[in-house]
Structure 1
Amino acid sequence: MQIEDNSNKEFRPLILAFCCNWCSYAGADLAGSSRSSYPAEVKIIRVPCSCRVNPLFLLRAFEKGADGVILAGCHPGDCHYSTGNYYTRRRMALLFDMLDYLGIERERTRVEWISAAEGAKFSTTMNAFTQTIKELGPNRKLRDLRCMP
């Protein structure tokens, strides 16, 4: 039996991106068609609106092994559903306070407003966020041991 030596492997963070269908997901699509690269570690989940993302989804993502979670939506005032991103902004402010209480670094969660025409911004945001998570290292606070491989 051979034992793997994981000490030499580079840390590759798992990043979950909740993207609004109307703006941020279209921005990701534009980034791809413009050949702007962003890390493969970013896994995109398409949601109808950023306000449909319950803060518990982010906590559950950390529990299931995510090292970072980013929520991307329409710019305030440009929401397809009129006021959805205002609800998102309020909910995320409360979530950040909860993460502070739980001892999870605030830098592991981010909220960005990215429109459909901002493919380059999507790419640079994801690259910068991935770099931040790499510097923080693996998330070990909320991981459920039952979910570990």
Structure 2
Amino acid sequence: MTGFEPRIIAFCCQHCAYAAADLAGGSRLNYPESLHIVQLPCTGRVDVLHLLKSFEEGADGVLVAGCLPGRCHYLKGNLHARQRIDHLRQLLDRIGFETDRARMINISAAMGVRFAELATEFTERIRQLGPNLLAVPAPPPATQSPGTTP
């Protein structure tokens, strides 16, 4: 789809994935500018409702990026996040929404190159799928009548 730049929301663990994204940026590695990173203490904190809300507000794809298995600073947060992503994908499938729009990756803080590769691959996949047609349009801004004060 020409001209379409997907809006991706990436929920990143501060200890691993966020550090990997920071390493990628500091190393001047390219990853899509349309990737908007939300830093979390742990991916175990992300809820299915947060992910669904991202789609509702116009995200074309949602990426959850956590620690490597067995390396979570909060023991099992990344495992809980994986279960939530699996549940989200089941919900998306039920409503006829492409399940590929939600993905979880596991990386370490030292994997800046891999973060950039995975972010680029995910963005390309979302570009192939096209825009999120289920996004709820934002309401128009409220207008004031002349002579009224806020």
Q: Distance in 1 between matches of 2:115 and 2:105?
A: 9
Q: What RMSD in Å do the two structures reach over aligned CA positions?
A: 1.7
| 2:104 pairs with 1:111 | yes
Count of equivalent residues? 141
1:64/1:147 contact within 8 Å kept: no
Say whether residues 1:137 and 2:137 are aligned partners.
no
CA offsets, 1:5-60, max 9 Å, x none? xxxx7111111000000000000011011111101000000000001001111100
**1:146 CA drift (Å):** 3.5
What is aligned with 2:17? 24
Higher percent of residues as helix: 1
C-alpha change, 1:29 and 1:100, in structure 2 (3 Å) is: same
Partner Cα distance (2:22, 2:90) in 1: 32
TM-score by length of 1: 0.90
Task: Give 4+ residue runs of structure 1 displaced > 6 Å after superposition.
Answer: none
Task: Tell me what 2:3 maps to.
Answer: 10
Greater C-alpha Rg: 2
Distance 1:94 1:38 in 2: 28
Q: Matched residues in 1 for 2:138 and 2:123: separation?
A: 26
Deviations 1:53-88 (CA, angstroms, capped at 9, x unpaired): 011111000000000110000011000011111111
In 1, Cα distance between the equivalents of 2:45 and 2:140?
Answer: 28
> Unaligned stretches of 5+ in structure 2?
142-150
User: What amino acid sits opposite 2:109 in the alignment?
Assistant: A
CA distance in 2, matches of 1:47, 1:106: 23
Cα distance, 1:148 vs structure 2: 7.9
Amino acid at match of 1:92: I
| Equivalent position of 1:81 in the other structure | 74
